[in-house]
Amino acid sequence: MSTTWLPCGTYHQNYVHDHAWWQTKFIKAKMILLLIILFVIIPLVADSYGLSILNLVGYTILGAIGVQLLIGFCGQITLGHAAFIAVGAYTSTLLILEFPWPKILMDWGLAYPISILIAAIVSGAWSVLFGLPCARVKGFYLILTTMAAQFITVDFIITGYVSQIGGRGQAFSLPPGTIKIGPWVIDSDLKVYFVMLVLVIVCVIGVLNLIRSRVGRAWIAIRDNDISAEVMGINVIKYKLLAFYVAGFIGGVAGAFWISNLAAISPEHFPWFWSLWLVGVILIGGVGSIHGTIFGSVFMVVVMEMLQLAVIPLADIYPKLLVDFLFIKEAVFGLAICVFMIFEPNGLAYRWWQMKNYFNLWPFSY
């Protein structure tokens, strides 16, 4: 009997089908439609302001993926991820501005793409350095270790030494034409948007494939019970350090990408609050879910932008609102986390999963 239309759902005939990315024609159609929307429709209809918001969403996704990998999949709590994003950003910037690239690479516009890869590798290695204590500590003590990464990297090394390279003071200027990929100069929000899309898709696919592999299963086992994982023969220290490396690697990609959206880069772009913000993103989106990383990033960026749009008209009546907007933003951020922890502790990804199941199982969704 044909298995195309069976009353109890889709049957997987083999292991490959069971683990396929797009398991049905309907899912393939949805993904193709999504790609058309992202690469064709949005660039046609979005203005510069809308594209800038989408670029910030993409940057948040790239930053939060590493935090999700460490906390959600490996159980390693981190509150210093902005440090590794900063390392990626400054490594890419210094390579572009200071490194004597061969003329042929400059003419072909390969300096920036190569700098992204090198920045990711350096950031991953720097992340492993601060991940070494995870071999002996966990929980509260690991939180303090990752916080130390933030203050040592950004507040001490970058602010006190790296920012002084070339006598520039605190900021590195990135004039138009500095960032190039091949013959294309990345000098508009639309071009930054396309770079963001490619990097987000590549990083998301890479992490999802890792999670589905032996490495990902080892991370999840460590997250659930590291003692049991070690008894089963998993090298806990090795896989923890690998998680820190991959998280730092993606953080380096995020930092190297973000400089394409800036006219100048300074340590103020990577405060400790950004590390805390990324943790809040995965808490709201859903811990242990790549979908949650995306949903949380969209939610937080859009809510804060709507908050800013609401504050601007009121500033004519209460001018102090604009001065205190940063404090208002932080208060709303904390309130949002509290609300989600009380009413939706599993995050937006769980609600999305419930909605999909309702429609997939209809009319027997009860």
What are 265's strand-pairing partners? 172
Nearest to 9 by CA among 352, 308, 361: 361
> Which DSSP symbol is given to 315?
T
* 177 alpha carbon, distance to own chain's centre: 26
**What is the residue type of 206?**
G
- Bridge pairing between strands 184-185 and 172-173: unpaired
Give the number of other CB atoms < 10 A from CB of residue 109.
Answer: 16
Residue 360 has pLDDT above 80, yes or no: no
Query: pLDDT exceeding 70 applies to what percent of the chain?
Result: 95
Q: What is the pLDDT of residue 170?
A: 65
Q: Indicate the SS3 state at residue 181.
A: strand
Q: Indicate the SS3 state at residue 308.
A: helix
239 Cβ contact partners less than 8 Å away, ≥ 6 residues apart: 74, 215, 218, 219, 222
Q: What is the pLDDT of residue 351?
A: 92
- pLDDT average, residue stretch 62-68: 97
236-258 vs 111-131: helix crossing angle, rounded to 10: 140
- pLDDT average, residue stretch 220-228: 94
Q: What is the pLDDT of residue 249?
A: 98
Q: What is the pLDDT of residue 9?
A: 58
Q: What is the DSSP string of 190-222?
A: HHHHHHHHHHHHHHHHHHHHHHTSHHHHHHHHH
Domain locations in the chain? 48-271
**Whole-number average pLDDT of the chain:** 89
Q: What is the pLDDT of residue 1?
A: 47
Instruction: Give tens-digit pLDDT for 115-132.
Output: 999 999 999 999 999 999
What are 180's strand-pairing partners? 185
- pLDDT average, residue stretch 84-113: 91
Residue with tokens 């090795």: 238
Structure tokens that stand for 204 in this block: 């998301």
Residue 8 has pLDDT above 60, yes or no: no
Structure tokens that stand for 228 in this block: 């049991």
- Let me know: does 247 contact 67? Beta carbons within 8 Å: yes
Instruction: Give tens-digit pLDDT for 282-308.
Output: 999 999 999 999 999 999 999 999 998
Q: Indicate the SS3 state at residue 173.
A: strand
Instruction: Give tens-digit pLDDT for 188-213.
Output: 999 999 999 999 999 999 999 999 99
Residue that wins the pLDDT comparison between 242 and 135? 242
